[in-house]
Amino acid sequence: MTTQSINIAILGASGYTGAELIRLLALHPNSNIKALSAERRAGEDVSSVFPHLSGVELSRLQRVNEIDFDEIDVVFCCLPHGTTHEIVSSLPERIKVIDLSPDFRLSNVANYEAWYGPHKAPRLQETAIYGLPEIRRGMIQSARLVGNPGCYPTSVILPLAPILKHDQIEEDRIVIDSKSGVSGAGRAEKEANLFCEVAEGIHAYGVGSHRHMPEIEQELSLAAGKNLKVSFTPHLMPMSRGILSSIYVCLKNGQTVSDLKENLVTQYRNEPFIRVLESDALPATRHVRVSNYCLINVFKDRLSGRAIILSVIDNLVKGASGQAIQNMNLMCGLDEDTGIAQQPLFP
Amino acid sequence: MTTQSINIAILGASGYTGAELIRLLALHPNSNIKALSAERRAGEDVSSVFPHLSGVELSRLQRVNEIDFDEIDVVFCCLPHGTTHEIVSSLPERIKVIDLSPDFRLSNVANYEAWYGPHKAPRLQETAIYGLPEIRRGMIQSARLVGNPGCYPTSVILPLAPILKHDQIEEDRIVIDSKSGVSGAGRAEKEANLFCEVAEGIHAYGVGSHRHMPEIEQELSLAAGKNLKVSFTPHLMPMSRGILSSIYVCLKNGQTVSDLKENLVTQYRNEPFIRVLESDALPATRHVRVSNYCLINVFKDRLSGRAIILSVIDNLVKGASGQAIQNMNLMCGLDEDTGIAQQPLFP
Amino acid sequence: MTTQSINIAILGASGYTGAELIRLLALHPNSNIKALSAERRAGEDVSSVFPHLSGVELSRLQRVNEIDFDEIDVVFCCLPHGTTHEIVSSLPERIKVIDLSPDFRLSNVANYEAWYGPHKAPRLQETAIYGLPEIRRGMIQSARLVGNPGCYPTSVILPLAPILKHDQIEEDRIVIDSKSGVSGAGRAEKEANLFCEVAEGIHAYGVGSHRHMPEIEQELSLAAGKNLKVSFTPHLMPMSRGILSSIYVCLKNGQTVSDLKENLVTQYRNEPFIRVLESDALPATRHVRVSNYCLINVFKDRLSGRAIILSVIDNLVKGASGQAIQNMNLMCGLDEDTGIAQQPLFP
Amino acid sequence: MTTQSINIAILGASGYTGAELIRLLALHPNSNIKALSAERRAGEDVSSVFPHLSGVELSRLQRVNEIDFDEIDVVFCCLPHGTTHEIVSSLPERIKVIDLSPDFRLSNVANYEAWYGPHKAPRLQETAIYGLPEIRRGMIQSARLVGNPGCYPTSVILPLAPILKHDQIEEDRIVIDSKSGVSGAGRAEKEANLFCEVAEGIHAYGVGSHRHMPEIEQELSLAAGKNLKVSFTPHLMPMSRGILSSIYVCLKNGQTVSDLKENLVTQYRNEPFIRVLESDALPATRHVRVSNYCLINVFKDRLSGRAIILSVIDNLVKGASGQAIQNMNLMCGLDEDTGIAQQPLFP
């Protein structure tokens, strides 16, 4: 067996999702990282922004416009939203692109602009696929441009899409309470993310206005076959990695908790990265830490006719870089779990 | 001005609520701690179980039955549930008792027994007052026995009771998602509370079955004037102190978010420890850390006809020992904030 | 008894030492905070930079040049080093000043300039007193300008000064290994202080070059009666507050561990904030958290002729704002522990 | 190429080193875990003690005496000290053993007994090899029984052995100040390891008496060619993984910091897991987290004639399970980094 070698460029490599891509790709048998960009750190070694990666042989950080894309097969974009449209537009059509920003996640350009501002590549948007493999595997396999899902949406859509598709819950009464580690906020030098501001505390943020809402609603609406809105409240808590989403739903059409669970079990039976837990086992973020897994379970609520769905992921793996590699594997015809099959880390 | 001196015994003093009582009472001008019990550590100095308190002059730890209650005016019980009934029954009628266990919180004895097992002092239960000063100040002032509220219930009842009393939300659709620090689980030597099991993670527990539910439902039903049930899901997260409750409610009778907020503002205008935040300020547990404050705010939900209420407390202060002292102050005719008016700690 | 009222201004109030001063002074019976400065946040309420302090009635943040110093008795300076010289020079002679920056700690101006750059108030420097009350109480009582000690130096000088004064250890072989919480690095928006960079890790910094060294050496040299240098290595670890200094020394003149300890016990017997622990009790930062205490103990080393001295403080209290208030109390003729006698916080 | 399959038993698999072995061996191409023991949890699934490992197909937990050792090639012992001697003695001579307890680390049986109590397999001890591959690779390759080094000793011996071998520092003046995460204390249900006791704090422990001292001294004495003792003080800090050792040494024979560093660079140039950092780069535990690396650097001390050596490892990988697999690879003739070449994890 010869091993296919994929030449990779990572744009915006100096943040946490960039670090995680490099770490994971170092374990990937087909990966060959050829170029890394970081505008403000161009010219430096990767080890100057990520000393923990000094064991990986990598070329220096470059500006995007210094990269020779002729030798690149796949681009991972980890740039801030609003900057990706133009860069992706400029890439040769031959190159496959996985964009980790929100820039290509919303198929409705007007919707994008309402939440993020001007969309500078509406044509390209038409070709972009929302990269949640468990929901849209076939389309990803043939895609050239994938919008890699947000961390919160991943934790929410995976449990809810099959349930909405089977019309098991009321679409307009979904309440999502999500808790995230701090790496989801990125590596920006903001007071709010300083150790002393985050440690020993928790708070909600973006209440009623978080930018992951349209993405959640887009995918759940598709699953439900009708437009829906959700109540979504994210919380920031003192850990580096992990998301737990607690989802409160109202059963419909005489459905029971067992029915929901059976649906999920059936749906995800053969998925390598989704695990619907048995009986009343409680998903914990420490059970998926540093892995590409998503754990889900469904519980009877004390209020009759209601259920509680809990799901956990590592926001930097299944919620970002791990899923991006899963998408690359699909786009390149590799085994889907290549390079990302590691077990969770505990303690 | 002469200062009234109150002779105090703390039973079960070797846990975290005991430590917090001792720390706070050391700042209380009327407090005179005369006796401390801890069955397994009897004979030892307090400083052997709490080295940080070696600066406070205290008598040695005793067994409960070694304490001379003739010299005691007020007893704080921090014993495990199920053990308090008999001990409180045996105390002279003259002694005022604040019980921090759940043993005297549920007025309905059958309800208690369904959740906790046999109630061994049903007569005494009839005289016990649920000690949430902002809701039941008058009755506490004349009480002899106060059941000090649980930490989760305090964070939930304070925002919801006035709203239910004014019939502003649907009683049977209240969803409460609470997040707590680890001290709420006590000082027991359990694997689940080890540093490595808790750090860098979050999980829900007691889903659909947490023992604080009947307590929440008792008080909210009283406020609403009708029996209600709630959906309540607690989560354990890596911090020592603090509770954030995110409460999802459905508006009723044409009520708006502003109506709810106005009600709370009016209700709590003169309360020393409740602060309803202005505009869209987000309550964070770090804003109440180590204080007796409860911060509350109300937000418009993305789903129409719904609101999100956020409340934060320090589970060991307003959720336990601080509130217990607030109750003592009321029972003894002192200014309500005596000894517990300290500002929050940050960072 | 009438209570003396001291009108206070805090300059540079928007950092962590500022917050801690406000919190502590709110408990101080003689304190009347009249003015607070923060150049970049001038015009805002304190509650906008410190939501946890919204319960304290305070005037708005001002620029330094907007403050009416005619009504001020005491100024606490929490400004960055290099900015204090000129501001203190401009204050009326009548005002007592406690400077929490390093600007007035080093009596030798040349020494200051070697470590920090130009000293802009050398005359004023001659009048400044190094504000470690346990070492220099008398001079502080009559001082007008006090240089409040650094956090690391406080943890090091308190245990070592009496030992050096009694010639009990070799002066040129002192090795100090200190570990600090993150609040010591201040509230600046630096990547190095982000939660994800600090959590779950430890590293040394400023090895062989940390700016607290000259301060340590100045005071230890004075105690020893001869110039000495020390080996000092600080470490940054994932907690908000606390310093532990582990000090490795070589005994001299036939001295024993017991001799050192007896010296410290004698020296600090009547000090309200220093506690030399008994037998082999181990000082832990959690035993002094949020208090003005310093705990010290001395241990036999496995290497013969050597001892290990451990000391702990809360860097924001005894290492900064608490000690500043202790100095104010002395300078104003109040009881030394006024407003700062609280017991440590645990958990 | 056919892949050699190694049948493995892990004894005492329910602790943190057991979890880490399972996680790492799941990535090892030659590993076939056939049996896992845990006396108190025998009969349960691994997923009941380690829910995060439910994705690995494993047989149920057994008692040691239920294991069929006929099918086992390699045994990893993660049992408490004092229990390993007899169990290893009972294993067929054919089976290779890597013992992660201290039971076979000290070649001098009397020394073992002074620190740990009776040694029950002194004959076997004569055949045991101290398993630090970088120091004793050849002997490990032909060993049947390896005593896997302790976590602290690994972090200390790796930097010091080459330096002592080359007679570059004074042997009787080595001061080691080590800081460790909590997983080093194991999974025992002890009050001292509860989240609330460890978070937001640091303390020294085992001062002058920690059991890793004889192990450090044995190996350093061998390197130095003479008996030596060290000053070693471990500290417990609030992180799950990681050890930083700060080592203070006195130069000898005109040696300089550059000489020490050059020696280390030469010694470790071809080692896959040791990295001597360039210029003044500071080793941080987050740079080795979840990897088998050891980072080392040497610094000029402010005191003349002295140097400061800093080293970091992950205590559960290079300090325990990773190194154990490194030893297995050597004992079985595999590439030394098989299955343990992953890059560090950050954040």
Convert the pLDDT of each residue in B125-167 to its tens digit: 999 999 999 999 999 999 999 999 999 999 999 999 999 999 9
Q: Select the residue of A201, A246, A347 nearest B196 (Cβ to Cβ).
A: A347
What is the nearest CA distance from C21 to chain B, expressed in angstroms? 11
Give which of A20, A194, A236 to mutate to test C binding, by max C Cβ within 10 Å. A194
What is the nearest CA distance from A83 to chain C, expressed in angstroms? 22
Percent of chain D with pLDDT over 70: 99
CB atoms within 10 A of CB A89: 11
H-assigned helices in D151-271:
151-165, 195-198, 213-224, 257-268
Tell me the per-residue pLDDT of B208-217, one tens digit each, with 9 for 90 and over.
Answer: 889 999 999 9
Biggest distance spanned by C-alpha atoms of chain A: 62
The token pair at B3 is 């200062």
Closest residue of A to D17, CA-based?
A347
Residue A153 has a pLDDT of 98
Residue A1 has a pLDDT of 47
Query: What DSSP designation does B235 have?
Result: E
Which pLDDT band, with edges at 50, 70 and 90, does D1 fall under? very low
What is the nearest CA distance from B118 to chain A, expressed in angstroms? 23
CB D224 within 8 A of CB D216: no
Task: Let me know if B127 is exposed, middle or buried by CB neighbors in 10 A (0-12, 13-18, 19+).
Answer: exposed
Cβ separation of B345 and C346 shorter than 8 Å?
no
Which pLDDT band, with edges at 50, 70 and 90, does C113 fall under? very high
Give which of D303, D309, D317, D346 to mutate to test C binding, by max C Cβ within 10 Å. D303
Residue A208 has a pLDDT of 87
The token pair at D289 is 């987290």
Residue C157 has a pLDDT of 98
Region label for A217, one of left (φ > 0), alpha (ψ between -120 and 50) or beta (otherwise) = alpha
Q: Give the neighbours of chain D: at least 3 Cβ pairs within 8 Å.
A: A, B, C
CB B156 within 8 A of CB B244: no
Name the packing angle between helices C213-224 and C151-165 (round to 10°).
20
Tell me the per-residue pLDDT of C183-202, one tens digit each, with 9 for 90 and over.
Answer: 999 999 999 999 999 999 99
> What are the residues facing D236 on neighbouring strands?
D180, D203
Residue D2 has a pLDDT of 58
Cα(C345)–Cα(C241) distance, rounded to whole angstroms?
11
On the question of pLDDT at B1 being above 50, the answer is no
Cα(A345)–Cα(D23) distance, rounded to whole angstroms?
7
Q: Give the neighbours of chain C: at least 3 Cβ pairs within 8 Å.
A: A, B, D
Catalytic pick among B151, B196, B250, B332: B151
Which pLDDT band, with edges at 50, 70 and 90, does C1 fall under? very low
Q: Which residue has the tokens 């978080």?
A: A210
What is the nearest CA distance from D230 to chain C, expressed in angstroms? 6
Rounded-to-5 percentages of helix, strand, coil across chain D: 35, 20, 45
On the question of pLDDT at C151 being above 80, the answer is yes
Query: What DSSP designation does C261 have?
Result: H
pLDDT in 10s for each residue of chain A, 347 residues = 457 899 999 999 999 999 999 999 999 999 999 999 999 999 999 999 999 999 899 999 999 999 999 999 999 999 999 999 999 999 999 999 999 999 999 999 999 999 999 999 999 999 999 999 999 999 999 999 999 999 999 999 999 999 999 999 999 999 999 999 999 999 999 999 999 999 999 999 999 889 999 999 999 999 999 999 999 999 999 999 999 999 999 999 899 999 999 999 999 999 999 999 999 999 999 999 999 999 999 999 999 999 999 999 999 999 999 999 999 999 999 999 999 999 999 99
On the question of pLDDT at C275 being above 90, the answer is yes
Q: Give the neighbours of chain B: at least 3 Cβ pairs within 8 Å.
A: A, C, D
What is the nearest CA distance from C238 to chain D, expressed in angstroms? 7
- Collect all residues of chain A within an 8 Å Cβ-Cβ radius of residue D22: 343
Query: What DSSP designation does D3 have?
Result: P
The token pair at B201 is 């993670």
Q: Select the residue of C280, C308, C312 nearest D233 (Cβ to Cβ).
A: C308
- Collect all residues of chain D within an 8 Å Cβ-Cβ radius of residue B238: 195, 199
Cα(B4)–Cα(C173) distance, rounded to whole angstroms?
56
Q: Which residue has the tokens 């990897």?
A: D291
Cβ separation of C308 and D208 shorter than 8 Å?
yes
Please give the C-alpha separations between residue A231 and each of A159, B232, B299, in angstroms, as whole numbers. Answer: 16, 17, 12
Biggest distance spanned by C-alpha atoms of chain C: 62
Cα(D120)–Cα(D111) distance, rounded to whole angstroms?
13
Which residues does A314 contact at the CB level (< 8 Å), separation at least 6? Answer: A241, A242, A243, A285, A288, A289, A290, A291, A292, A293, A322, A344
Name the packing angle between helices A322-331 and A133-141 (round to 10°).
40
Q: Helix, strand or coil for residue A198?
A: helix
Residue B229 has a pLDDT of 97
Which residues of A sit within 8 Å Cβ distance of D?
16, 19, 22-23, 26-27, 50-56, 183, 199-200, 240-241, 275, 281, 284, 286-291, 293, 316, 342-347
- Collect all residues of chain A within an 8 Å Cβ-Cβ radius of residue B181: 200
Cβ separation of B242 and A200 shorter than 8 Å?
yes
- Name the pTM for this structure: 0.97
Chain centroid to CA B84: 17
- What is the DSSP secondary-structure string of A101-136? SGGGT-S-HHHHHHHHS--S-HHHHHH-EE--HHHH
> What are the residues facing D180 on neighbouring strands?
D236, D243
Active site residue D151: yes
On the question of pLDDT at D209 being above 90, the answer is no
Of the candidates D2, D1, D10, D13, the residue with the CA atom closest to the CA atom of residue D32 = D10
- Collect all residues of chain C within an 8 Å Cβ-Cβ radius of residue D232: 302
- Collect all residues of chain D within an 8 Å Cβ-Cβ radius of residue B200: 240
* Residue D9: half-sphere exposure toward Cβ, Cα within 13 Å: 27
Residues of C taking part in catalysis? 151
- Collect all residues of chain D within an 8 Å Cβ-Cβ radius of residue C284: 201-203
- Collect all residues of chain A within an 8 Å Cβ-Cβ radius of residue C196: 16, 182-183, 187, 193, 240
Closest residue of A to B283, CA-based?
A203
Cα–Cα–Cα angle for C336, C342, C343, rounded to 5 degrees: 125
Give which of B291, B302, B309, B317 to mutate to test A binding, by max A Cβ within 10 Å. B302
- Collect all residues of chain B within an 8 Å Cβ-Cβ radius of residue A244: 202-204, 235
Three state DSSP letters for A233-259: EEEECCCCCCEEEEEEEEECCCCCHHH
Cβ separation of C175 and D248 shorter than 8 Å?
yes
CB A32 within 8 A of CB A8: yes
Q: Helix, strand or coil for residue D307?
A: strand
Name the packing angle between helices D151-165 and D213-224 (round to 10°).
20
Cβ separation of C347 and B286 shorter than 8 Å?
no
- Collect all residues of chain A within an 8 Å Cβ-Cβ radius of residue B248: 175, 177, 231, 248
Chain centroid to CA B102: 10
Closest residue of B to C290, CA-based?
B345
On the question of pLDDT at B2 being above 90, the answer is no
Cβ separation of A345 and D200 shorter than 8 Å?
no
Residue C2 has a pLDDT of 58
What is the nearest CA distance from B182 to chain D, expressed in angstroms? 7
Backbone angles phi and psi of B279, in degrees to 5: 35, -125
Which residues of C sit within 8 Å Cβ distance of B?
16, 19, 22-23, 26-27, 50-56, 183, 199-200, 240-241, 275, 281, 284, 286-291, 293, 316, 342-347
Task: Let me know if A93 is exposed, middle or buried by CB neighbors in 10 A (0-12, 13-18, 19+).
Answer: exposed
Q: Select the residue of B181, B231, B310 nearest A302 (Cβ to Cβ).
A: B231
Tell me the per-residue pLDDT of B270-322, one tens digit each, with 9 for 90 and over.
Answer: 999 999 999 999 999 999 999 999 999 999 999 999 999 999 999 999 999 99
The token pair at D284 is 């941080």
ipTM of model over 0.90 = yes
Q: Select the residue of B191, B193, B240 nearest D187 (Cβ to Cβ).
A: B191
H-assigned helices in chain C:
16-25, 46-49, 84-89, 109-116, 122-127, 133-141, 151-165, 195-198, 213-224, 257-268, 322-331
Residue A2 has a pLDDT of 58
Sign (positive or negative) of CA dihedral C57, C61, C64, C70: negative
Which residues does B266 contact at the CB level (< 8 Å), separation at least 6? Answer: none
How many residues does this entry show for chain C?
Answer: 347
Residue type, A251: L
Q: Give per-residue burial for D36-58: e unless 16+ CB within 10 Å, then b.
A: bbbeebbeeebbebbbbbbbeeb
Residue B208 has a pLDDT of 87
- Collect all residues of chain C within an 8 Å Cβ-Cβ radius of residue B286: 52
Cβ separation of A343 and D289 shorter than 8 Å?
no
Name the packing angle between helices B257-268 and B151-165 (round to 10°).
110
